[in-house]
Chains A and B, each alone.
Chain A
Amino acid sequence: MVSLASELRYTANTQLEHLHARYTGTGHADLSKYDWLTHQHRDTLSSIVGHPPLLSYVAIGDGESTGRVKFELTERMLQPCGPPPPKDED
Chain B
Amino acid sequence: MHLYNLTLQHATAASHAIVGNFSGARQQEIIVSHGTRLELLRPDVQTGKIATVIATDVFGSIRSLAAFRLTGGNKDYAIVGSDSGRIIILDYDPKTSSFVKIHQETFGKSGARRIVPGQYLATDPRGRAVMIGAMEKAKLVYILNRDAAANLTISSPLEAHKNSAIIHHIVGVDVGFENPMFAALEVDYSESDQDPTGEAFMKTEKMLTYYELDLGLNHVVRKWSEPTDRRANLLVQVPGGQVAASDRFDGPSGVLICAEDHIIYRHMDSPQHRVPIPRRRNPVEDSNRGLIITAAVMHKMKGAFFFLLQSEEGDLYKVTIDHEDEEVKSLKIKYFDTVPVASSLGILKSGFLFVAAEFGNHHFYQFQKLGDDDEEPEVSSADFPSFGMADPSSPLRRAYFRPHPLDNLALADELESLNPVLDAKVMNLLPNSDTPQIFTINGRGARSTFRTLRHGLEVEETVSSELPGIPNAVWTTKVKEDDAFDSYIILSFVNGTLVLSIGENIEEVQDTGFLSSAPTLAVQQIGADALLQVHPHGIRHVLADRRVNEWRVPAGKTIVAATTNKRQVVVALSSAELVYFELDLDGQLNEYQDRKAMGSTVLALSIGEVPAGRQRTPYLAVGCEDQTVRVISLDPESTLETISLQALTAPPSAICIADMLDAGINKSQPTMFVNIGLQNGILLRTVLDPINGQLTDTRTRFLGTRPVKLIRVQVQGQPAILALSSRAWLNYTHQNMMHFTPLIFETLDYAWSFSAELCPEGLIGITSSVLRIFQIPRLGTKLKQDALQLSYTPRKFITHPTNQYFYVIESDHRVPGEDVVQTKVQELRTRNKTIDEEIFHLPPEQFGRPKAPAGTWASCIRIIDPIERRTVHRLALDNNEAAFSIAIVPFSARNNELHLVVGTAQETIVSPRSCKSGFLRLYQFTEDGAGLEFLHKTETDDVPLALLAFQGRLVAGVGKALRLYDVGKKKLLRKAENKTFSAAIVTLNTQGSRILVGDMQDSVAFAVYKAPENRLLVFADDNQPRWTTCATMVDYTTVAAADRFGNIFVNRLDVKVSDQVDDDPTGAGILHERGILMGAPHKTVLLTHFHVGDLITSIHKVAMIAGGREVLLYTGLHGTIGVLVPFVSKEDVDFISTLEQHMRTEQVSLIGRDHLAWRGYYVPVKAVVDGDLCEAFTRLPASKQSAIAIELDRTVGEVLKKLEQLRVTASGF
- Residues of chain A whose beta carbon lies under 8 Å from any beta carbon of chain B: 21, 23-25, 38, 42-43, 46-47, 49-54, 56-57, 59-68, 71, 74-75, 77-79, 82-87
Cβ contacts A to B, 14 pairs, < 8 Å: A23-B115, A24-B114, A46-B119, A46-B136, A49-B135, A50-B135, A52-B35, A53-B1116, A62-B854, A66-B358, A67-B293, A68-B312, A83-B192, A85-B196
- Across the two chains, which residue of chain A brings its CB closest to B293? A67
Q: Are the CB atoms of B114 and A43 closer together than 8 Å? A: yes
Chain A residues within 8 Å of B197, by CB: 83
Top 10 closest A-B pairs, CB basis?
A67-B294, A50-B112, A63-B813, A46-B135, A53-B1095, A63-B814, A83-B198, A65-B312, A46-B114, A86-B196
Contacts A65-B358, A68-B292, A68-B294 given; does A24 touch B61 at CB 8 Å: no
> In the complex, which residue of chain B has the Cβ closest to the Cβ of A61?
B910
17 new A-B contacts, CB < 8 A, other than A66-B343, A68-B312, A71-B292, are: A24-B115, A24-B137, A46-B113, A49-B119, A50-B63, A50-B112, A53-B1093, A54-B1044, A56-B13, A56-B358, A67-B292, A68-B292, A74-B135, A77-B189, A79-B189, A79-B201, A83-B195
Residues in A neighbouring B231, C-beta threshold 8 A:
75
Q: Could you tell me if B204 and A78 are in contact, using CB atoms closer than 8 angstroms?
A: yes
Minimum CB distance partner of B11 in chain A: A53
- Verify B814–A78 contact, CB threshold 8 A: no
Interface-facing stretch out of B163-171, B245-253, B454-462, B657-665: B163-171
Inter-subunit contact B136/A52 (CB<8 Å): no
Q: Kindly identify, within residues 868 to 906 of chain B, every residue whose CB is under 8 Å from any CB belonging to chain A.
A: none
Given the known A-B contacts A63-B812, A68-B312, A84-B193, are A56 and B201 also in contact in the complex, defined by CB atoms under 8 Å? no
A83 to B444 Cα, complex, angstroms: 36
**Cα distance A1–B419 when bound, in Å?**
66
User: Interface centre among A21, A38, A63, A87, by most B CB within 10 Å?
Assistant: A63
Q: Mark B169-195, 1 if CB is under 8 A from A, else 0.
A: 000000000000000000101001111
CB pair B445–A63 under 8 Å, yes or no, is yes
Q: Are B201 and A53 in contact (CB under 8 A)?
A: no
Total residues of chain B contacting the partner, CB 8 A? 64
B83 contacts partner chain A, Cβ-Cβ < 8 Å: yes
Looking at the assembled complex, report how far the CB atom of A89 sits from the nearest CB atom of chain B, in whole angstroms: 12
Q: Name which residue of chain B comes closest to A35, CB basis.
A: B193
B residues less than 8 Å from A83 (CB atoms): 192, 195-198, 201
Q: B422–A71 contact, CB under 8 A?
A: no
* Residues of B902-956 contacting chain A, CB below 8 A: 910-911
Given the known interface contacts A56-B13, A84-B195, the answer about A24 and B136 at a Cβ–Cβ threshold of 8 Å is yes
Q: B290 → chain A, closest Cβ, in Å?
A: 9
Residues of B within 8 A of A47 (CB): 112-114
Chain B residues contacting A51 (CB-CB under 8 Å) are 61, 112, 1045-1046
Does any Cβ of A come within 8 Å of B15's Cβ?
Answer: yes
Q: Do residues B193 and A60 form an inter-chain contact, with CB atoms below 8 A?
A: no
Pick from A21, A65, A87: contact of B294, CB under 8 Å:
A65
Q: Chain A contacts of B61 at CB under 8 A? A: 50-52
Q: Is the CB of A66 within 8 A of B813?
A: no
In this complex, the member of A25, A38, A46, A62 whose beta carbon has the largest number of chain B beta carbons within 10 angstroms is: A46
B578 within 8 A of A: no
Contact assessment for B196 and A60 in the assembled complex, using a CB-CB cutoff below 8 Å: no
Q: Are B294 and A62 in contact, CB atoms less than 8 angstroms apart?
A: no
Confirm or deny: B341 has a beta carbon within 8 angstroms of a beta carbon on chain A.
yes
The answer to whether B196 touches A87 (Cβ under 8 A) is: yes
In the bound complex, CA of A57 to CA of B815 (Å) = 18
Task: State the CA gap A37–B119 with chains docked (Å).
Answer: 23
Bound Cα distance from A42 to B166, whole angstroms: 10
Nearest-neighbour CB distance to chain A for B17, whole angstroms, equals 13
Please tell me if the beta carbons of A77 and B135 are within 8 angstroms of each other in the complex.
yes
| Cα(A42)–Cα(B358), bound, Å | 24
Residues in B with CB closer than 8 Å to A65 are 294, 312, 341, 358
**Is B21 engaged at the interface, CB distance under 8 Å to the other chain?**
no
- Residues on B with beta carbons closer than 8 Å to the beta carbon of A74: 135, 166, 168, 233
Tell me which residues across on chain B come within 8 A of A24, comparing CB atoms: 114-115, 136-137, 163-164
CA distance A57 to B61 in the complex (A): 16
Set of chain B residues within 8 Å of A21, measured between Cβ atoms: 163
B295 and A67 within 8 A (CB): yes
Answer yes or no: B76 CB below 8 A from chain A CBs: no
Q: List, in ascending order, chain A residues with CB within 8 A of B1116's CB.
A: 53
The complex places the Cα of A42 from the Cα of B135 at a distance, in Å, of 10
- A-side contacts of B422, CB under 8 Å: 60
- CB-nearest residue of chain A to B197: A83
Residues of B within 8 A of A60 (CB): 359, 420, 422, 444, 793, 1117
Assuming A63-B793, A78-B201, is B444 touching A52 (CB within 8 A)?
no
A78→B13 contact, CB < 8 A: no
A16: shortest Cβ distance to chain B, in Å?
A: 17
CB distance from A47 to the nearest CB of B (A): 6
Given A71-B233, A84-B196, A66-B135 contact (CB < 8 Å):
no
A52 and B1120 alpha carbons, distance in the complex (Å): 14
A56-B359 contact given A51-B112, A63-B813, A87-B196, CB 8 Å threshold: yes
- In the complex, A62→B295 CA distance in Å? 19
Given contacts A54-B1044, A60-B420, contact A78 B196 (CB under 8 A): no
Most buried by A among B63, B197, B233, B293: B233
Distance of A25 Cα from B990 Cα, bound (Å): 43
B1120 to A: closest C-beta gap in Å? 9
A25 to B29, CA, bound (A): 41
The answer, among A53, A59, A64, for a CB contact under 8 Å with B1094, is A53
A53 with B35: in contact, given A63-B813, A78-B204 (CB under 8 Å)?
A: yes
User: For the complex, what is the distance from the CA of A56 to the CA of B1046, rounded to whole Å?
Assistant: 13
Chain A residues with Cβ below 8 Å from B312 are 64-65, 67-68
Given known pairs A24-B136, A54-B1045, the reply for A38 and B193 (CB within 8 Å) is yes
Rounded to whole angstroms, the CA-CA distance of A84 and B192 in the bound complex is 8
Cα A31 to Cα B987 in complex, Å, equals 38
Cβ of B586 to closest chain A Cβ, rounded Å: 68
Chain B residues with Cβ below 8 Å from A57 are 1044, 1095, 1117
Give every chain A residue within 8 A of B535 (Cβ-Cβ): none
> Could you tell me if A79 and B192 are in contact, using CB atoms closer than 8 angstroms?
yes
Interface pair A52/B15, CB less than 8 Å apart:
yes
Q: Does B1155 contact A (CB under 8 A)?
A: no
CB distance from B621 to the nearest CB of A (A): 50
Chain B 56-82 interface residues, beta-carbon cutoff 8 Å to A: 61, 63
Is B541 an interface position by the 8 A CB rule?
Answer: no
A43 to B166, CA, bound (A): 12
Give B1093-1120 as 1s and 0s: 1 = Cβ < 8 Å from A's Cβ atoms: 1110000000000000000000011100
Closest to A52 in B: B15
Minimum Cβ distance to chain A for residue B157 (Å): 14
Shortest C-beta distance, B704 to chain A (Å), equals 38
Given the known interface contacts A50-B63, A53-B1094, the answer about A78 and B112 at a Cβ–Cβ threshold of 8 Å is: no
Task: Assess whether B166 is in contact with A77, with CB atoms less than 8 Å apart.
Answer: yes
Question: Which of B83, B911, B1118 is close to A50, meaning CB atoms less than 8 Å apart?
Answer: B83
Tell me the smallest distance from the CB of A25 to a CB of chain B, in Å: 6
**Looking across the interface, which residue of chain A has its beta carbon closest to that of B185?**
A74
Within 8 A of A (CB), among B322-343: 341, 343
Tell me the complex Cα distance, A28–B164, Å. 17
With A53-B1094, A53-B1095, A63-B445 in contact, do A25 and B196 touch (Cβ < 8 Å)? no
Considering the chains assembled together, what is the distance between the CA atoms of A54 and B204 in angstroms? 28
Residue of A nearest to B192 (CB): A79
**In the bound complex, what is the Cα–Cα distance between A38 and B341 (angstroms)?**
32
Are B168 and A71 within 8 A (Cβ)? yes
Q: Does A53 contact B1117, Cβ atoms closer than 8 Å?
A: yes
A85 to B187, CA, bound (A): 21
A68 to B359, CA, bound (A): 14
- B196 contacts A56, C-beta separation under 8 Å: no
Q: Find the A residue at minimum CB distance from B444.
A: A60
For A56, give its contact among B113, B119, B204, B1118 (CB under 8 Å).
Answer: B1118
Complex contacts, B198 vs chain A, CB 8 Å: 82-83
Minimum CB distance partner of A87 in chain B: B196
Query: Could you say which residues of chain A place their CB within 8 Å of the CB of B793?
Result: 60, 63
